[in-house]
Amino acid sequence: MPDQPRHDHAAVLLRRRRLVDATALTPPVRRSAWQWLRRPLTIQAGLSALQADLIERGFLLSVGLYRYCTGLSAPALAGFGHSLLDLLDAESGYDASQVPLFRGFPESVPGNTETLYINRTFARLLQEPEQPCVMCGDAKSVHAVSPCAHLICRTCWDGTDFSACPVCQRRINPNDPFLKPSPHEEQPAHVRSDRLQLLTLAPHDAVRSTVDALLVRRSPLSAGDRADLKVLLAGADLSWLPDEIPVRETRALVLAQFLDDHPHLIDRAGTATDVLRLVYALMDADPGLRTAPARRKSLPRATRRAVLARLDRLPADALVEDMLRHERAWKRVAENLHPFEFATRYPLAALAFAVVRRTELDSGSAAGRAVLGEAARRPFVRLEGRRLTTNTFAARVEGAFADGRPGHALDLLRDRPGELVRRLMQLARELPADQHGALVDALTTAVSDVSPVVITAALGQVRTPPGDLRLFFPRGGTTRIWTTVDEREPLPAELAAALSGVLVGEMLRRATDLPRLRRVFLDEELARLAAPGSERSGSSTLLRMTRGSAVPIPQDELLRLFLHWVEPRDRRVDLNLSVAVFGEEWDFVGLCDYSRLRFDQDALVHSGNLMSAPGPAGSTEFVDLDLRAVRRVGGRYLLPVVFSYNNVPFDQLERGFVGVMRQPNGLFDPAAVEERFDLAGPATILLPFGLDLQTKELRWYDVNLGAAGYRNNIARYGGHLALMAATLEEVHGSGDRVSLWEICCWHAAARTDEVVVRCADGSVVGYLRDPSEDLVTFARRLTAHLEPDRPWDTDAAIQADLAAVLTADITPRRGAQIYALHPHLLDPAAHLLIDAPHLLTTLTPDTRAHTPLHT
């Protein structure tokens, strides 16, 4: 079998790029003479079987990959096929034992949940050993099941339908006589063509190019991306490291990978916070500093000395201020680093820790004398009693705002462009009208050095007027959102327009520095997708959509939600998949969960509540959604929710994931899986997405609510769910936030004079830039969907150098750059497939002199 690191690389390439590292998946098999004699017949049969299995999962072999397979021996092809199918099944969840409580779901789900509950209660409380059944009176059909030992009547409870104990609904021994074979349902051979995706043979540099794409990304990586990067870096060398890794969290992760063999790399940690991120990465903790290390991992003495030496070489005032920004984290790290043990060798580092930890200094000790001597040379610190204190930049800025001196705060922030843009809304609201011009000038100067992610976030805030509620995403290992009444005054229209003009103009200026394009093809549906932002708290998903994005859903189709989990060996975990239904004004209409298995007959159908998930099989719950039936009973919003009923956090699961299938064939149809993401983090209530049956959209939420105690369910948290979802819809559905459509329009307007747009109704129109039309006007006309210049043929994508679409049902020219949320049959060997962060990453700051563009 192939070695594990290469196999892991293959799994990442397949999941991220649909590239098949065939050499890593093909076992080394020696071809014998008899195999060569039988090769034509055996290989053809094996290829046919492999292609049938792949089509069942929604995939096709590319020409290059098919040719590779024809060159294998029969045993090698069999090993390659098994490895490839195993990876695909693990990705979709098809490898899990997808057996619900009612194996005949949805047909066999009881229509009356109350009757089922009463029968379970009677059987549990009144049934006695060696006594007739309390419900049917049969004296010989009552037996205990293992291991729960509940007395079950084989006549009243159907062993061909139940997969667990009917009384406690916990998994039982699969060999228990109560469980009887269920009618086997064969998987359908037919898969709709619009679900098929192409698998392509990975080039020799696929791992290196994937690493490069992650390292140059200008926004923080999600937990899944960080895990993939660590896998891909296994076996890499220093030649893989670019001169600059722009995201500090990513840089820390990479440095931690190589630091043991190359200690000089610690000099690439340019600030104290960079060093802290590196220490967290070395301790297997989150380099984003949102959560503390789960356990204390002792660092080697040589590493501790290297860390303190690096801190000691940093500028003194920046060192102390930077460490105070993460005071609690540095206090925790100090317990591992022991800075006073090396105070005489690294006195500046010891001084910084003394300020952070409020250490009482003893002039009688060598360490105390070293720190006090260092403090005497640093005017920014002062001695108060026996402790050192300082006044940080952040404290000066906050003090200026608190004292009613926003002009002074603006002067301070001029030297820190990123902080100025992040505080743009606070400055705009607190500065008097006669200083608005100074703010616009300061922003014009600062914006050229700011990350595009920060610019798009600020642009969305400037353009979004105050509404009924405000939405907050605080930092943390698990995304928890809060809302409050929005009582802010709107910005003056002229100021908002001026600030927006500076921000948009800067993005257009950066786009003009990129290579020119002959034609750009855009899909108007990209307006549903939110602009890429910080992904650090996002779940690991198949589509990797940004929170707030929406995708269209057919009104007349059946959706099936699925939840699968495996509990740890020493603890029972009861997860519940539930759906809440709300009306036009977020009034509660109904629910479907363990307490109500059917809502309005077949509108919503739950597969049954399983209350344990022992490994290795685990447990699965499904909910079928008939969207038209829900709409008929007054439902507009559907909120699927995952509850940990007994309050066990998701990160304690052996495995857990939730997802949605579209019009599945069979119980679990891997080809129908639209989205699937892992359950992770310390959450106990997860709201993955919401369905709006009026706009026919599925909006990606990926948030959770705080919970305490047992009995976490919709009845308890329904009001919170409605408030959260209503606020999310208001914020992300208003259209004021920057969308992926707008980013693509910036590229198109600045890089070509010929833009073709496929409209939401399927028509195709063209926008042509006249030589007399300035760039800002052309970009505004394109972004706002104003009157196009002419209709266009439907094959307009053929001549496009860049295409951005929701679904890749186009025929682009060979070598074109393509973004597609659903790439389907696009061949990475023929086209350069890019992701959404790439479209923003290319708009990075350019420090060369420039002339700003204004609207």
3 state SS of 381: strand
Lowest mean pLDDT among 183-187, 258-262, 523-527, 759-763: 183-187
What value does the mean pLDDT take over residues 203-229? 87
Is-contact 690 553, C-beta < 8 A? no
- pLDDT of 395 reads 85
| CA–CA dist 778, 770 (Å, integer) | 9
Residue with the bigger pLDDT between 641 and 733: it is: 641
Task: Give residue-wise pLDDT tens across range 576-597.
Answer: 999 999 999 999 999 999 999 9
pLDDT band at 481 (very low <50, low <70, confident <90, very high): low
Note the Cα 819 to chain centre separation in Å.
18
The pTM of the full predicted model, rounded to 2 decimals, is 0.87
What distance in Å separates the CA atoms of residue 667 and residue 620, rounded to the nearest whole number?
11
What mean pLDDT do residues 146-172 have? 93
Classified as helix, coil or strand, 701 is strand
Can you tell me the distance from the alpha carbon of 854 to that of 45, in angstroms, rounded to the nearest whole number?
A: 65
Task: Give the burial string for 810-820 (b: 16+ CB within 10 Å, else e).
Answer: bebeeebbbbb
CB proximity list for 335: less than 8 A, separation 6 or greater: 296
Class level of CATH domain 550-730: mainly beta
Q: Which whole-number Å values give the CA distances from 613 to 565, 567, 575, 713, in the listed order? A: 6, 5, 9, 18
Cα–Cα nearest to 703, from 730, 721, 676: 721
Can you tell me whether residue 20 is helix, strand or coil? strand
* 378/364 Cα distance (integer angstroms): 21
Would you tell me the crossing angle of helices 4-17 and 223-233 to the nearest 10 degrees?
A: 140
Contact 557, 565 (CB under 8 A): no
**What tokens appear for 500 in the block?**
């927006």
Question: Is the peptide bond prior to 106 cis by the omega test (within 30 degrees of 0)?
Answer: yes
**Degrees, nearest 5: CA angle 359-360-365:** 110
Is 105 in contact with 608 (CB distance < 8 Å)?
yes
Instruction: Summarize the confidence of residues 806-816 as an average pLDDT.
Output: 87
Tokens of 202: 């990975």
CA distance 808 to 252: 36
Give Dmax over CA atoms of the chain in angstroms: 95
The pLDDT of residue 480 is above 70: no
Of 519, 560, 587, 548, which is closest to residue 700 (Cα–Cα)? Answer: 548
- Higher pLDDT pick, 272 / 718: 272
Strands in 77-193 per DSSP E = 142-144, 151-153
Length of the chain: 855
Residue with tokens 């490898």: 95
Q: Is the pLDDT of residue 606 over 80?
A: yes
